[in-house]
């Protein structure tokens, strides 16, 4: 599938700049507690990731899914456990009573978390992983030792998952067929021992292979990937901040913008 | 071109935390431009030697340096820095998965250049040259999507880009399927033809590397130099000694010895000459005339699709295994071999079709560690014996006799994870035997085993087969197929491409190409000989040659 220039507008920007912008926007979002502003940020991040970043809508939604689950948890805890004002109960389920103020606060805080996640993931998921790491090393002073270790680990994640499945299968074949919850937990832990032995051996081997190519002994490094921060990147950062300002301005004008006042209830 | 490229003098080296030295009083010269083949049983210190020569020991991995010295390109390695050593000697390791760091090919090749601070302007030309030398021109997939053989060529390209004067290949084909092996060895043969680099090769597929080997050095089990000399001195004059040390002998040399000559054929064509000249007239291949027994496992139109996978791993597979058979399952990586084994063993329920079992099926995994569930060796056996429903006394008696049979009696209370490679494999096979199976399925049983352990294992399998059990071996080991399989099943993309005697499979160029297989050297030699002397039978392995000559 060929992508149009427009759909790669965000993907082509420098990953470190994107991550920096996401960090700035997250700092702003931390202070927002109304539900509308984060929704607008989520919408803007989705447009950036999908329409301008070349990600499929489904892939971006799947990335956000775990965060959405956590956000729902926030809503629940705040609705039920926030100190209720008298006569504020909206509904009851068994022993749990949700207060309207708690619910409002929970929805605000949940969406805020989701918005921070959406903005950050839009930055990360529209970036080539190698370019992201190299740009962070060169433009954001990330230690190259950490950066390359992260890249090597990135290759390992799918392998570790497959390995664990294979070990559990092998142990089931050996007749480890737990019936109780407790035995099942013990079997799950039992699978981790060989997995850990494997992971250690792999990590040692790859460290040796990296050293054999001069990684540890490098006094100065050069880089194959060119990762210059261009005028286009600064223009992109500025545009993002302008969009953020517009969203906040709209909230101020429309009267729905509410900022955290330093207390832990509405 | 004078003097040694590397010289090891009186070296004794012990790994941290080990009592026995890995290398003992070792003296060895590696001449400039020389192509040196290093052999030795597993645990003899071959890989340690590779790490010493490129400076990883002692600069990145510490060890007890008890005596002696290592000099590379005129400099003592302990005095030199890892930066200069790692660009003088490059190492390609066994497993592509644990030596590639980056996600894209060019980044991977550039990684070493970056570490050695090669200016960016000079990198493009060196990356292009390294790609050309390894046949990677125009390959543009992410590394994760390459085959094992191509990944290994990327590892080779990444080393070549550093322009090392010495190249060490440490079992570069051990983790590859036959097609990947050929791919890598072709690339290596092209590289070292002009002797521009010094080459140290650790490899046990000797028939493939003999054409470009100048000298052979052999380490013994204690890390001492047991032998050094020309291939002819090694494999002809000292063949018996090398066999006693437990190292591999080229198959074609064994063939020459069976024909009563002291020749060392360098390739199948030279071996064919010997056959044409020396095959006793009227000697035919023997035919295994046993009547087929009733099937003990039968698969009918079996399919298997892993959860979330787009394509099924197995599709419409129908076959059977009978008592007294040793069936080899072969095919490229990802063709569905292991999945078929697991489905036959009942470890995975088929998602289509049915499997009928008329007896107990046991499964031995490729990596023995994966199936250890106990803290002691004896405990491993007890787990299986108890699952059979034996009483406490019977369990103890059976444990003792199985430990004896596996030669592990002294290690009964040891932790299985601390065993050697060969011992782990013996334990995993013995735990499967503890289930008293009618069918034994083994995934890559000879993987990573030296000659001695391989012989022991194959003898055990032959014995179980003649006991009336069925053996199913999933394997890339063409020698196992040629010498021990009574039948071979070749898979291609989850379907059965061939099911029949090994001789028939190895006769078909089309099938071999389709299933990423290669013709074993003995089969190739007899094919060439048969074309010139039609009364020579088309034998596939040494076992068949021995049987024919015994008549």
B104 reaches A (C-beta below 8 A): yes
Chain B CB contacts of A169 under 8 Å are 342, 347-348
The angle that helices B120-133 and B105-115 make with each other, rounded to 10 degrees, is: 120
Task: Give the total number of structural domains in chain A.
Answer: 2
Q: Are B444 and B366 in contact (CB under 8 A)?
A: yes
- Average pLDDT, stretch B231-255? 93
B329/B348 Cα distance (integer angstroms):
17
Determine, for residues A211 and B61 on separate chains, whether the beta-carbon distance falls below 8 Å. Answer: yes
Same-domain pairing of A176 and A110: no
pLDDT for B450 equals 82
Same-domain pairing of A112 and A160: no
Residue B166, H or E segment: strand B166-170
B136/B132 Cα distance (integer angstroms):
6
A208 reaches B (C-beta below 8 A): yes
Name which residue leads in pLDDT, B448 or B39: B39
Residue A263 lies in a domain: no
B-proximal residues of A, 142-161, CB under 8 Å: 148, 151-152, 154-155, 158-159
Inform me whether the pLDDT recorded for B1 exceeds 50: no
Contacts of B311 (CB under 8 A, 6+ apart): B305, B494
Report the complex ipTM: 0.85
CATH architecture of the domain covering B4-246: 3-Layer(aba) Sandwich (3.40)
- Average pLDDT, stretch B509-534? 93
pLDDT for B284 equals 80
**CA distances in angstroms from B357 to B173, B294, B324, listed in the order given:** 36, 12, 16
Handedness of CA B291, B295, B299, B300 (dihedral sign): positive
Two tokens at B212? 């470009």
Asked, as a colleague might, if the bond just before B58 is cis with ω within 30 of 0, I would say yes
Same-domain pairing of A45 and A117: yes
B197/B218 Cα distance (integer angstroms):
21
**CA distances in angstroms from B501 to B217, B481, B506, B529, B537, listed in the order given:** 38, 10, 9, 20, 15
The β-bridge relationship of strands B63-72 and B75-76 is antiparallel
Nearest CA-CA distance, residue B522 and chain A, Å: 35
Same-domain pairing of A117 and A240: yes
Grouping H, G, I as helix, E, B as strand and the rest as coil, residue A214 is coil
Determine, for residues B120 and A224 on separate chains, whether the beta-carbon distance falls below 8 Å. Answer: yes
- Cα angle vertex B46, ends B45, B51, to 5°? 95
DSSP B138: T
CATH superfamily of the domain spanning B295-522: P-loop containing nucleotide triphosphate hydrolases (3.40.50.300)
B89: buried, middle or exposed (CB in 10 Å: 19+, 13-18, 0-12)? buried
For chain A, the C-alpha Rg in angstroms (whole number) is: 24
CA B86 from centroid of its chain's CA atoms: 27
Chain B CB contacts of A217 under 8 Å are 59-60, 81-83, 86, 115
Domain with CATH 3.40.50.300 in chain B: 4-246, 295-522
Determine, for residues B91 and A174 on separate chains, whether the beta-carbon distance falls below 8 Å. Answer: no
Same-domain pairing of A83 and A186: no
pLDDT for A41 equals 96
pLDDT tens-digit series, residues B202-213: 998 899 999 999
**Considering the entire predicted model, what is its pTM?**
0.87
Same-domain pairing of A113 and A191: no
Residue A81 lies in a domain: yes
Residue A20 lies in a domain: yes
B491/B303 Cα distance (integer angstroms):
13
Q: Are B511 and B498 in contact (CB under 8 A)?
A: yes
pLDDT for A200 equals 87
Chain B CB contacts of A212 under 8 Å are 51, 54, 56, 60, 86, 90-91, 93
pLDDT for A84 equals 61
Q: Are B52 and B129 in contact (CB under 8 A)?
A: no
Per-residue model confidence as pLDDT tens for chain A (266 residues): 445 667 788 889 999 999 999 999 999 999 998 889 999 999 999 999 998 888 899 999 998 999 999 889 888 888 777 666 666 777 777 777 777 778 888 888 899 999 999 999 999 999 999 999 999 999 999 999 999 988 888 888 888 888 888 888 888 888 767 778 887 887 777 778 888 888 888 889 999 999 999 998 878 899 999 999 999 999 999 999 999 999 999 999 999 998 877 765 54
B227/B222 Cα distance (integer angstroms):
13
pLDDT for B285 equals 77
Mean pLDDT for chain B? 91
Percent share of chain B, pLDDT over 90? 70
Q: Are A248 and A31 in contact (CB under 8 A)?
A: no
DSSP B96: G
Task: Quote the domain boundaries for residue A208.
Answer: 143-212
From the CB of residue B285, how many other CB atoms can be counted at a distance below 10 Å?
16
Two tokens at B197? 């680099």
B334/A207 Cα distance (integer angstroms):
28
A182: buried, middle or exposed (CB in 10 Å: 19+, 13-18, 0-12)? exposed
Residue A32 lies in a domain: yes
B431 reaches A (C-beta below 8 A): yes
Same-domain pairing of A151 and A183: yes
- Cα angle vertex B134, ends B129, B136, to 5°? 85
- Average pLDDT, stretch B477-501? 93
Grouping H, G, I as helix, E, B as strand and the rest as coil, residue A128 is coil
Greatest CA span in chain B, whole angstroms?
A: 75
- Average pLDDT, stretch B109-138? 94
DSSP B391: -
Same-domain pairing of A237 and A203: no
Same-domain pairing of A118 and A19: yes
């Amino acid at each position: 599938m060929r992508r149009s220039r427009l759909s790669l507008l965000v993907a082509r920007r420098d990953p470190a700049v994107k991550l920096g912008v996401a960090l700035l926007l997250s700092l702003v979002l931390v202070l927002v507690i109304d539900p509308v502003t984060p929704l607008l940020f989520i919408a803007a991040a989705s447009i950036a990731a999908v329409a301008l970043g070349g990600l499929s809508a489904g892939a971006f939604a799947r990335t956000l899914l775990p965060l959405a689950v956590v956000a729902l948890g926030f809503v629940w805890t705040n609705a039920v456990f926030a100190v209720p004002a008298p006569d504020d109960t909206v509904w009851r389920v068994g022993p749990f009573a949700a207060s309207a103020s708690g619910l409002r606060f929970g929805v605000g805080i949940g969406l805020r978390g989701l918005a921070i996640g959406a903005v950050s993931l839009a930055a990360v998921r529209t970036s080539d992983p190698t370019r992201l790491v190299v740009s962070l090393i060169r433009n954001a002073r990330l230690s190259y030792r950490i950066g390359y270790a992260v890249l090597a680990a990135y290759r390992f994640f799918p392998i570790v998952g497959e390995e664990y499945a294979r070990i559990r299968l092998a142990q089931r074949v050996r007749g480890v067929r737990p019936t109780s919850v407790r035995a099942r937990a013990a079997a799950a832990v039992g699978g981790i021992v060989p997995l850990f032995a494997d992971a250690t051996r792999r990590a040692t081997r790859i460290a040796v292979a990296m050293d054999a190519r001069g990684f540890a002994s490098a006094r100065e490094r050069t880089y194959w990937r060119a990762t210059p921060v261009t005028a286009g990147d600064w223009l992109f950062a500025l545009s993002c901040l302008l969009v953020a300002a517009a969203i906040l301005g709209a909230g101020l004008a429309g009267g729905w913008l509410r900022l955290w006042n330093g207390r832990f209830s509405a | 071109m004078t003097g040694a490229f590397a010289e090891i003098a009186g070296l004794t080296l012990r790994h941290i935390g080990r009592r026995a030295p890995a290398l003992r009083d070792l003296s060895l010269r590696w001449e400039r431009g020389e192509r040196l083949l290093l052999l030795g049983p597993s645990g003899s210190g071959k890989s340690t030697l590779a790490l010493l020569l490129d400076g990883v020991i002692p600069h990145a991995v510490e060890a007890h340096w008890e005596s002696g010295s290592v000099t590379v390109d005129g400099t003592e390695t302990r005095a030199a820095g890892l930066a200069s050593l790692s660009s003088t000697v490059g190492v390609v390791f066994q497993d592509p998965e644990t030596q590639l760091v980056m996600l894209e090919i060019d980044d991977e090749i550039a990684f070493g250049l970056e570490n050695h601070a090669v200016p960016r302007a000079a990198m493009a030309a060196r990356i292009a040259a390294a790609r050309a030398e390894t046949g990677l021109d125009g390959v543009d997939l992410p590394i994760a999507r390459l085959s094992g053989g191509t990944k290994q060529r990327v590892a080779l390209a990444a080393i070549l880009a550093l322009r090392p004067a010495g190249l060490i290949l440490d079992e570069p084909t051990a983790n590859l399927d036959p097609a990947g092996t050929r791919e890598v060895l072709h690339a290596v043969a092209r590289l070292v033809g002009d002797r521009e680099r010094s080459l140290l090769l650790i490899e046990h597929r000797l028939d493939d590397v003999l054409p470009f080997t100048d000298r052979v050095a052999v380490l013994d089990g204690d890390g001492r130099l047991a032998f050094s000399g020309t291939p002819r001195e090694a494999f002809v004059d000292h063949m018996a000694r090398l066999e006693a040390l437990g190292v591999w002998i080229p198959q074609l040399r064994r063939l020459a010895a069976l024909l009563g000559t002291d020749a060392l054929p360098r390739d199948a064509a030279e071996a064919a000459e010997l056959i044409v000249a020396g095959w006793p007239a009227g000697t035919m291949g023997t035919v295994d005339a046993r009547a087929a027994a009733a099937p003990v496992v039968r698969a009918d139109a079996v399919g298997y699709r892993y959860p979330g996978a787009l394509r099924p791993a197995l599709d419409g597979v129908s076959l059977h295994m009978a008592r007294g058979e040793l069936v080899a399952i072969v095919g490229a990586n990802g063709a569905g071999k292991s999945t078929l084994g697991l489905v036959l063993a009942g470890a995975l329920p088929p998602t289509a079709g049915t499997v009928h079992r008329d007896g107990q099926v046991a499964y031995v995994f490729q990596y023995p560690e994966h199936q250890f569930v106990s803290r002691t060796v004896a405990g491993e056996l007890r787990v299986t014996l108890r699952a059979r429903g034996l009483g406490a006394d019977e369990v103890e008696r059976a444990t003792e006799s199985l430990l004896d049979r596996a030669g592990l009696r002294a290690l009964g209370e040891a932790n299985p994870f601390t065993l050697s490679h060969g011992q782990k494999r013996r334990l995993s096979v013995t735990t499967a035997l503890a289930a008293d199976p009618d069918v034994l399925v083994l995934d890559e049983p000879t993987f990573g085993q030296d000659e001695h352990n391989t012989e022991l294992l194959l003898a055990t399998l032959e014995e179980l087969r003649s006991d009336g059990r069925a053996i199913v071996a999933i394997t890339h080991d063409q020698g196992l197929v040629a010498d021990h399989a009574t039948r071979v099943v070749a898979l291609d993309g989850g379907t059965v491409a061939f099911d029949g005697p090994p001789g028939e499979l190895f006769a078909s160029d089309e099938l071999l190409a389709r299933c990423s297989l290669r013709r074993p050297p003995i089969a190739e030699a007899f094919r060439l000989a048969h074309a010139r002397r039609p009364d020579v039978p088309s034998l596939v392995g040494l076992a068949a040659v021995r049987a024919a000559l015994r008549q």
